[in-house]
Chain A
Amino acid sequence: MENRVLVVDDEKEIRSFLSKALTQLGGFHVDLAENGEEALQKMEKDFFDLVLTDLKMPKMDGLQLIDEIARSRPEILTVLMTGHGSIDSALEAMRRGASDYLTKPLNLDELLVRLQKVMQERTRFISLKEYANQLEQSNEELKRIDEMKSEFVSVASHELRTPLAAIKNAVQLVLKRKTGEINETQAKFLSMAERNIDRLTNILNDLLSLSRIESGKVTMKFEDLELKGVIELATSSLKPHADVRSLRLEVQVPEDLPHVYGDREKIERILINLIGNAIKFTQEGGQILITAEPYPHTGKQGHGGMVSVSVRDTGIGIPEEHLKSIFEKFYQVEGSLQRSVGGTGLGLAITKGLVELHQGTIRAESEIGKGSTFTFTLPVSQGERRESHFRFIFDGEFKRAQSNHTPLTLFLMELPDQGIERSDGLSELLEERVKRCFCRKSDTVLIRKQERLLVAICEADLKGARVIRQRIEEAFPKYPQEGLDGSPRIKIGFATYPEEALSKRDLFGKAKERLREWT
Chain B
Amino acid sequence: MSPKKILIVDDEPDLVETVRFPLEMEGYQVLVSNNGEEGLNQARKEIPDLIILDLMLPRLDGYKVCRLLKFDERYKHIPILMLTAKIQEKDKLLGKETGADEYMTKPFDIDTLMEKVKFYLSRG
Is A162 in contact with B15, judged by CB distance below 8 angstroms?
Answer: yes
User: Closest chain B residue to A204 by CB distance?
Assistant: B87
User: Closest chain B residue to A170 by CB distance?
Assistant: B18
Bound CA–CA A167/B25 (angstroms): 19
User: Closest chain A residue to B18 by CB distance?
Assistant: A169
User: Closest chain A residue to B54 by CB distance?
Assistant: A162
Bound CA–CA A169/B110 (angstroms): 6
Stretch at the interface among B30-38, B39-47, B69-77, B101-109: B101-109
* Cβ 8 A contact of B18, one of A166, A205, A208: A166
0/1 string, A150-180, CB within 8 A of B gives 1:
0000000011011111111110110010110
Write out the residue numbers on chain A whose beta carbons fall within 8 Å of the beta carbon of B22.
173, 178
Is A172 in contact with B12, judged by CB distance below 8 angstroms?
Answer: no
Is B87 in contact with A165, judged by CB distance below 8 angstroms?
Answer: no
Does A273 count as interface, using CB distance less than 8 angstroms?
no
0/1 string, B14-29, CB within 8 A of A gives 1:
1101110110010000
Does B85 count as interface, using CB distance less than 8 angstroms?
yes
Beta-carbon contacts under 8 Å, B80-124 to A: 83, 85-87, 105-111
Does A332 count as interface, using CB distance less than 8 angstroms?
no
Write out the residue numbers on chain A whose beta carbons fall within 8 Å of the beta carbon of B87.
205, 208
Closest chain-B Cβ to A163's Cβ sits at a distance in Å of: 8
Write out the residue numbers on chain A whose beta carbons fall within 8 Å of the beta carbon of B85.
158-159, 161-162, 165
Bound CA–CA A201/B85 (angstroms): 11
0/1 string, A208-221, CB within 8 A of B gives 1:
10000000000000
Bound CA–CA A162/B16 (angstroms): 11
Closest chain-A Cβ to B93's Cβ sits at a distance in Å of: 12
Bound CA–CA A166/B19 (angstroms): 9
Q: How many of chain B's residues have a CB under 8 angstroms from any CB in A?
A: 20
* Cβ 8 A contact of A166, one of B12, B25, B109: B12
Write out the residue numbers on chain B whose beta carbons fall within 8 Å of the beta carbon of A168.
107-110
* Cβ 8 A contact of B15, one of A165, A172, A197, A205: A165
Closest chain-A Cβ to B24's Cβ sits at a distance in Å of: 10
Closest chain-A Cβ to B123's Cβ sits at a distance in Å of: 24
User: Closest chain A residue to B105 by CB distance?
Assistant: A161
Task: Give the size category of A's interface with B.
Answer: 20 to 34
Closest chain-A Cβ to B34's Cβ sits at a distance in Å of: 13
Bound CA–CA A166/B110 (angstroms): 10
0/1 string, A188-204, CB within 8 A of B gives 1:
00000000010001000
Is A165 in contact with B109, judged by CB distance below 8 angstroms?
Answer: no
* Cβ 8 A contact of A197, one of B83, B107, B111: B107
Write out the residue numbers on chain A whose beta carbons fall within 8 Å of the beta carbon of B14.
163, 166, 170
Closest chain-B Cβ to A150's Cβ sits at a distance in Å of: 13
Write out the residue numbers on chain B whose beta carbons fall within 8 Å of the beta carbon of A178.
21-22, 25
Closest chain-A Cβ to B29's Cβ sits at a distance in Å of: 18
Known contacts A158-B85, A208-B87: does B19 contact A172 (CB below 8 Å)?
no
Known contacts A162-B15, A170-B18: does B25 contact A201 (CB below 8 Å)?
no
User: Closest chain A residue to B110 by CB distance?
Assistant: A172
Bound CA–CA A205/B105 (angstroms): 11
Bound CA–CA A170/B21 (angstroms): 10
Write out the residue numbers on chain A whose beta carbons fall within 8 Å of the beta carbon of B25.
178
Closest chain-A Cβ to B65's Cβ sits at a distance in Å of: 18
Closest chain-A Cβ to B110's Cβ sits at a distance in Å of: 4
Bound CA–CA A197/B109 (angstroms): 11
Known contacts A168-B107, A208-B87: does B12 contact A162 (CB below 8 Å)?
yes
Bound CA–CA A145/B83 (angstroms): 31
Closest chain-A Cβ to B111's Cβ sits at a distance in Å of: 7
Write out the residue numbers on chain A whose beta carbons fall within 8 Å of the beta carbon of B111.
172, 176
Is A158 in contact with B86, judged by CB distance below 8 angstroms?
Answer: yes
User: Closest chain B residue to A200 by CB distance?
Assistant: B107
Is A172 in contact with B106, judged by CB distance below 8 angstroms?
Answer: no
Known contacts A166-B12, A166-B15: does B109 contact A172 (CB below 8 Å)?
yes
* Cβ 8 A contact of A161, one of B19, B107, B110: B107
Is A165 in contact with B21, judged by CB distance below 8 angstroms?
Answer: no
Is A162 in contact with B21, judged by CB distance below 8 angstroms?
Answer: no
Is B106 in contact with A164, judged by CB distance below 8 angstroms?
Answer: yes
Is A169 in contact with B19, judged by CB distance below 8 angstroms?
Answer: yes
0/1 string, A242-263, CB within 8 A of B gives 1:
0000000000000000000000
Is B110 in contact with A173, judged by CB distance below 8 angstroms?
Answer: yes
Bound CA–CA A173/B18 (angstroms): 8
User: Closest chain B residue to A164 by CB distance?
Assistant: B107
Write out the residue numbers on chain A whose beta carbons fall within 8 Å of the beta carbon of B21.
173, 178-179
User: Closest chain B residue to A198 by CB distance?
Assistant: B107
Write out the residue numbers on chain A whose beta carbons fall within 8 Å of the beta carbon of B86.
158
Bound CA–CA A432/B15 (angstroms): 76
Is A176 in contact with B106, judged by CB distance below 8 angstroms?
Answer: no
Bound CA–CA A165/B21 (angstroms): 15
Name 13 A/B residue pairs within 8 A (Cβ), A-sorted.
A165-B15, A165-B106, A166-B15, A167-B107, A168-B108, A168-B110, A169-B107, A172-B110, A172-B111, A173-B18, A173-B22, A179-B21, A197-B107
Chain B interface (Cβ < 8 Å from any Cβ of A): 12, 14-15, 17-19, 21-22, 25, 83, 85-87, 105-111
Task: Give 8 A-B pairs besides A170-B18, A173-B18, A176-B110 with Cβ atoms closer than 8 angstroms.
Answer: A162-B85, A166-B14, A166-B15, A168-B108, A168-B109, A178-B21, A179-B21, A205-B87
Chain A interface (Cβ < 8 Å from any Cβ of B): 158-159, 161-170, 172-173, 176, 178-179, 197, 201, 205, 208
* Pairs A-B, 9 closest by C-beta atoms: A169-B18, A161-B85, A165-B106, A165-B107, A166-B14, A168-B107, A161-B106, A166-B15, A172-B110
